Amino acid sequence: VYQFCSRACSDDYKKLHCIVTYCEYCQEEKTLHETVNFSGIKRPFCSEGCKLLYKQDFARRLGLRCVTCNYCSQLCKKGATKELDGVVRDFCSEECCKKFQDCLTALRSTTIKEFTLRGFLFSFFERHKGEIGLGLTCD
């Protein structure tokens, strides 16, 4: 049994080692392409096409346009929208909106060091005298 530091590392391992799973859309046993959260449930997909088709069906069932929460990254119906730093952002709940705002506030603190890893920007900053924090953003 392997333990991973994050979902991204786990998914990378599964792709690299051709881990097989049942695709949520086509219901066939295939190599994992990506796992996506839909309303809090992680669903595996064999391809980008199956993921997009599932997303369309999911949106149709909800009767709404689905959004990807800017905080927790799950696909869901829109629970909150907020303009932050000139960008309109969608969230699944007010709680995620608040957590995202807290992260932005923390990132506006004095940045000590920044680096990018797998598309994520990690920012180390000084929150209070002698206390170091970590911020994470992605595009």
The full set of domain ranges for the chain reads 1-63, 67-106, 109-139
d(CA 51, CA 24): 8
**Per-residue pLDDT in tens (0 to 9) along the chain, 139 residues:** 567 888 778 777 877 777 788 899 999 988 888 888 877 788 999 999 999 899 888 877 776 667 788 888 777 777 788 887 788 888 888 998 888 888 777 766 655 666 666 667 777 666 555 555 656 565 5
The DSSP H or E segment spanning 39 is: none
- Looking up tokens 């970590």 gives 134
Return the structure tokens found at 28: 């066939």
Q: Please tell me the total number of residues recorded for the chain in this structure.
A: 139
The conformation of residue 42, written as its DSSP 8-state character, comes to: E
**0.75 surpassed by pTM:** no
